[in-house]
């Protein structure tokens, strides 16, 4: 989406006092508010505006809130819906939840702070889904353009073959660049994680190769690995600032919703259904004790089982910074200890068999040089993390630079200069495929 996004909220209640209370509660938000005193009046507003969120009372004359929200779903399916209800209406409320007509409901009188937090979460969810829908439309448009080109391919095959190959490569690179950009946004949201998403994607890539997975499944799993934590973007800061073991019961339950939120963020993108399912299940346990659905063993998508191992290994190894060999062995031993309970034993066996932990041994060299971005060469290994002057994280220590990485660094450096140059290990071109450093991954 382009330009500044402006949310609109529709408030529906036959009581003027309730509408005024809601307006006062929401006045701190940068939104436009429309009100309606009945379901039919509100349906008319849906025909004139695009609303990010609807908040409706249940008990209204003529048309109940549940009836109105079910009708609104047909007119504006992407709008998030919240129902205000009393305890006596709980059965009809449950029916509305099961039908997908509402996302949340609040009993009267509601808690202002909790309702406001759900409103903010709903607006962010609508914005993310709108962005993803826009991205899906762009991808669909590109696919349609390719179809048009293919209609005349036979007549132009000789002169167009090289051009089409070039365009396909650029399209793939652009697509993976977009995925990596989302990954960077996720890592910026959680500065304590650093390059967690990129490292998980790297290790996931290596596990996929060890398991001889098909190209299509490999690509889906790689994308899911980059985006596995995207659902955490919707969590409040008070939860993200705590370790999981320090969360109270209600905070833990909200935290456990992040895989579901992650799935909903990307489900609407064309061709991302399987990727979104992998993200939903990447916290399931092999014995069925995980979340959000408590599924077990082979019912868990293969990609989710792989990412579960890569995610757990990285969090254990990098909890206190860059790990030494002892910490890496402990992290691998952690996988073995919980093999068959938390982790898929077959995948853990491959992890140990291929000694994948050694890919995270960051090369140390007394011969370190600092160069400018345009002086970088393919194969160089970073001796320190790369950050821009504004603090944006680009690549971690130990990354083996590819042509694509260097181009991206140079492009970003023009608008946000790389801080203090780029430190690399001198004579650090590594040719052996088995010694491929951690960041030389898909795309």
Overall domain count for the chain = 3
pLDDT of residue 436: 39
pLDDT of residue 160: 66
Cα gap 220→178, rounded to integer Å: 14
pLDDT of residue 88: 61
pLDDT of residue 439: 38
Cα gap 299→263, rounded to integer Å: 17
Residue pair 259/283 in contact (Cβ under 8 Å)? The answer is: yes
270 and 340, same domain (yes or no) = yes
Candidates 247, 222, 195, 181; CA nearest to 382 is 195
Cα gap 161→429, rounded to integer Å: 33
pLDDT of residue 154: 65
428 and 309, same domain (yes or no) = no
The domain of 312 spans: 163-360
- The residue from 337, 360, 383 where one domain ends is 360
220 and 314, same domain (yes or no) = yes
55 and 169, same domain (yes or no) = no
119 and 167, same domain (yes or no) = no
pLDDT of residue 153: 66
Do the domain assignments include residue 147?
no
Beta bridge partners of 55: 11, 82
Return the axis-axis angle of helices 16-26 and 112-151, rounded to nearest 10°.
70
Do the domain assignments include residue 145?
no
CATH number at residue 102: 3.40.50.2300
pLDDT of residue 4: 60
104 and 187, same domain (yes or no) = no
pLDDT tens per residue, the chain (443 residues)? 445 668 999 999 999 999 999 999 999 898 999 999 999 999 999 989 999 999 999 888 889 888 899 999 989 999 999 999 876 667 767 777 776 678 888 888 899 999 999 999 999 999 988 888 888 888 888 888 777 777 766 666 666 667 767 776 677 767 777 787 777 777 666 655 457 888 899 899 999 999 989 988 999 999 999 999 999 888 888 888 888 889 999 999 999 999 999 999 999 888 899 999 999 999 999 999 999 999 999 999 999 999 999 999 999 998 888 888 899 999 999 999 999 999 999 999 999 999 998 877 766 666 889 999 999 999 888 888 888 888 787 887 877 788 888 988 999 999 999 978 899 987 665 443 433 333 333 33
381 and 294, same domain (yes or no) = no
CATH number at residue 253: 1.10.3210.10
Cα gap 261→223, rounded to integer Å: 17
295 and 412, same domain (yes or no) = no
Candidates 292, 281, 295, 289; CA nearest to 342 is 289
CATH number at residue 395: 3.90.105
Question: Residue 80 has what DSSP assignment?
Answer: E
Do the domain assignments include residue 412?
yes
90 and 207, same domain (yes or no) = no
Cα gap 419→394, rounded to integer Å: 11
Chain centroid, CA 52 distance in Å: 20
Do the domain assignments include residue 235?
yes
For the chain, the straight-line distance linking the first and the last C-alpha, in angstroms and rounded, comes to 24
pLDDT of residue 365: 60
- The residue from 360, 391, 407 where one domain ends is 360
Do the domain assignments include residue 334?
yes
Do the domain assignments include residue 141?
no
51-236-115-91 Cα dihedral, nearest 10 degrees: 90
C-alpha gyration radius of the chain: 25
Do the domain assignments include residue 91?
yes
80 and 185, same domain (yes or no) = no
207 and 178, same domain (yes or no) = yes
Do the domain assignments include residue 319?
yes
49 and 185, same domain (yes or no) = no
pLDDT of residue 279: 97
Residue pair 35/9 in contact (Cβ under 8 Å)? The answer is: no
Strand 422-425 with 104-107, pairing: unpaired
Residue pair 54/72 in contact (Cβ under 8 Å)? The answer is: yes
- The residue from 327, 360, 393 where one domain ends is 360
The pTM score is 0.56
């Amino acid at each position: 989406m382009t330009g500044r996004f402006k949310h609109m909220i529709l408030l529906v209640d036959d009581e003027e006092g309730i509408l005024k209370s809601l307006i006062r509660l929401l006045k701190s938000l940068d939104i436009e508010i429309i009100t309606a005193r009945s379901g039919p009046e509100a349906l008319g507003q849906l025909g004139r505006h695009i609303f990010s969120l609807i908040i409706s009372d249940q008990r209204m004359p003529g048309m109940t809130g549940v009836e109105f929200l079910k009708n609104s779903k047909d007119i504006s399916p992407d709008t998030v819906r919240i129902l205000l209800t009393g305890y006596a209406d709980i059965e009809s409320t449950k029916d509305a939840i099961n039908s997908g007509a509402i996302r949340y409901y609040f009993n009267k009188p509601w808690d202002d702070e909790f309702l406001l937090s759900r409103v903010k979460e709903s607006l962010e969810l609508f914005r993310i889904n709108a962005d993803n829908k826009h991205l899906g439309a762009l991808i669909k448009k590109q696919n349609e353009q390719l179809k048009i080109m293919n209609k005349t391919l036979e007549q132009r095959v000789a002169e167009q073959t090289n051009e089409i190959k070039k365009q396909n490569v650029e399209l793939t690179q652009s697509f993976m660049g977009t995925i990596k950009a989302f990954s960077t946004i996720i890592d910026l949201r959680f500065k304590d994680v650093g390059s967690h998403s990129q490292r998980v994607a790297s290790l996931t890539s290596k596990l996929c190769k060890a398991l001889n997975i098909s190209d299509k499944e490999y690509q889906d799993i790689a994308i899911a690995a980059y985006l596995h934590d995207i659902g955490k973007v919707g969590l409040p800061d008070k939860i993200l600032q705590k370790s999981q073991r320090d969360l109270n019961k209600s905070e833990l339950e909200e935290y456990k919703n992040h895989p579901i939120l992650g799935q909903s963020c990307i489900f609407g993108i064309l061709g991302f259904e399987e990727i979104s399912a992998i993200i939903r299940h990447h916290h399931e346990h092999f014995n069925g004790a995980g979340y959000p659905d408590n599924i077990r063993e082979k019912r868990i998508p293969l990609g989710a089982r792989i990412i579960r191992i890569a995610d757990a290994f990285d969090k254990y190894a990098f909890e206190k910074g860059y790990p030494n060999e002892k910490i890496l062995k402990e992290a691998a031993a952690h996988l073995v200890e919980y093999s068959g309970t938390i982790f898929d034993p077959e995948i853990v066996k491959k992890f140990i068999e291929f000694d994948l932990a050694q890919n995270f041994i960051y090369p140390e060299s007394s011969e370190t040089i600092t160069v400018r971005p345009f002086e970088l060469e393919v194969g160089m290994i970073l001796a320190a993390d790369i950050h821009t002057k504004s603090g944006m994280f680009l690549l971690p220590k130990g990354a083996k630079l590819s042509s694509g990485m260097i181009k991206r660094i140079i492009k970003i450096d023009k608008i946000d200069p790389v801080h203090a140059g780029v430190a690399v290990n001198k004579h650090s071109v590594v040719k052996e495929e088995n010694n491929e450093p951690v960041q030389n991954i898909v795309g």
